[in-house]
Amino acid sequence: MDDILILGGYGNFGKRISKALLRHGLPIIIAGRDETKARSLAKALRAEFPQAQLRWAAIDAQSGLDRHLRRLRPSVTINTCGPYQTKTYDIADACIASGSSYIDLADARDFVTGITSLHDRAEQAGVSVISGASTVPGLSSAVIEQYRQEFSRIESLRMGISPGQKAERGLATTQAILSYIGKPLGPAGRDKVVRYGWQDLYRQLYPELGPRWMANCDVPDLDLFPERYGINAIQFSAGMELAPIHFGIWAFGWLTRLGLSIDWPRHAKTLLGASNWFDRFGSDAGGMHVVMRGEGTNGAPHERSWFIIAKNGDGPQIPCVPAILLAKKLALRQPVPTGAMACVGLVALEDYLEELKIFAVRTYER
């Protein structure tokens, strides 16, 4: 069995993916620019999994990756190196050229939807190139696939994520959100309402958690789901547990809307550090909601709401699951479509939740 290479393997998501793949008995290579961090995580995981097939490598994914891929010969490469809003497809291109399948955790709208530009090359090489193997659109599409048979037509979809304040937050995720706050988002399906990043505030009631403030986010689902599911109106939002932080980001967005030219992602490290100071006032519990409305199979109005709640700081496990399941399938040579595609409908909700059963995660529906 060939190795699974994890770029950014010691990062916020990479370390969780690394551990999960070892738990499944799969051989991995933990890789990243920082040799010390890669070696340190490898040492810790080797102590936890003494029989593991585990290596580490110092790799700058943006420089000389072709050479490393030829040397290491992974069957699958998982790219966790965000933010993807500013990235090209160089890593995926290198994987195709080397014969390695490629998976990323991107939630950048243009990046994920544009991955199909590599389809012909990937198909000719006989590899799978999958973008968006994360909460969106990986989990969000799994939920829709699970419940779509209840509807003759899904007319609207409202989704969102609210992490716990104490849940580990990565710099790349912070940079991604800051890249579009206050900026107009592209239209979603036939919905012509102009939405702005981190605007349109509303309160979402979660089981166990209570109400959380939400605001607009830009995700690939806004383009992918109208085409696949025929949904006319889609809104995706995110929210911080603590209102002062949530409204602070909202105010930053208004500065952008008022015409101030501020490079918010450049200040991501400082703002992330400042937000961490508030951890003492928050919890380690977060959630996601998916609310579908439309026409039931009997022709009457129908609504289905689905929630996933994570406690004990286990929220960051959720975005990792699609990459884990798909990498496992590819490594074991189980059926996965070849070519380049967004991660829509590739992971079943049942399998998703099975992977999460060892964590403090529960789901609700109504």
For residue 267, the domain's CATH number is 3.30.360.10
Please give the Cα distance from 341 to 130 (Å, whole number). Answer: 5
Q: How far is CA 71 from CA 5, 39, 57, 59, in A?
A: 12, 18, 11, 12
Residue 271 binned pLDDT confidence (cut-offs 50, 70, 90) = very high
pLDDT, residue 189, reads: 77
Which pTM does this prediction carry? 0.95
pLDDT, residue 170, reads: 82
Could you say which DSSP state residue 137 is in? I
pLDDT, residue 252, reads: 96
Q: Are 141 and 343 in contact (CB under 8 A)?
A: yes
Instruction: Tell me the Cα Rg of the chain.
Output: 20
pLDDT of 216-237, one tens digit each?
Answer: 999 999 999 999 999 989 999 9
Q: How many domains does one find in the chain?
A: 2
pLDDT for residue 2 is more than 90 = no
358 found inside a domain: no
93 with 167, same domain? Answer: no
Average pLDDT for residues 6-19, to the nearest whole number?
Answer: 97
323 with 235, same domain? Answer: no
356 found inside a domain: no
143 with 115, same domain? Answer: no
In terms of residue numbers, what domain contains 178? 136-310
8 found inside a domain: yes
Average pLDDT for residues 296-312, to the nearest whole number?
Answer: 97
pLDDT, residue 182, reads: 96
Average pLDDT for residues 155-166, to the nearest whole number?
Answer: 96
pLDDT for residue 16 is more than 70 = yes
Residue 78 belongs to domain with CATH number = 3.40.50.720
Average pLDDT for residues 119-129, to the nearest whole number?
Answer: 98
Name the residue with higher pLDDT: 64 or 323. 323
294 found inside a domain: yes
219 with 171, same domain? Answer: yes
Q: Are 46 and 22 in contact (CB under 8 A)?
A: no
Residue 1 binned pLDDT confidence (cut-offs 50, 70, 90) = low
Which of these three, 282, 310, 338, is where a domain ends? Answer: 310
33 with 150, same domain? Answer: no
pLDDT of 75-108, one tens digit each?
Answer: 999 999 988 988 999 999 999 999 999 999 999 9
Residue 26 binned pLDDT confidence (cut-offs 50, 70, 90) = very high
Please give the Cα distance from 126 to 63 (Å, whole number). Answer: 25
273 with 334, same domain? Answer: no
Residue 190 binned pLDDT confidence (cut-offs 50, 70, 90) = confident
Average pLDDT for residues 313-335, to the nearest whole number?
Answer: 97
54 with 73, same domain? Answer: yes
Average pLDDT, the chain: 95
pLDDT, residue 164, reads: 96
Residue 20 binned pLDDT confidence (cut-offs 50, 70, 90) = very high
118 with 153, same domain? Answer: no
299 with 154, same domain? Answer: yes
pLDDT for residue 257 is more than 70 = yes
Burial of 280 (0-12, 13-18, 19+ CB in 10 A): exposed
357 found inside a domain: no
96 found inside a domain: yes
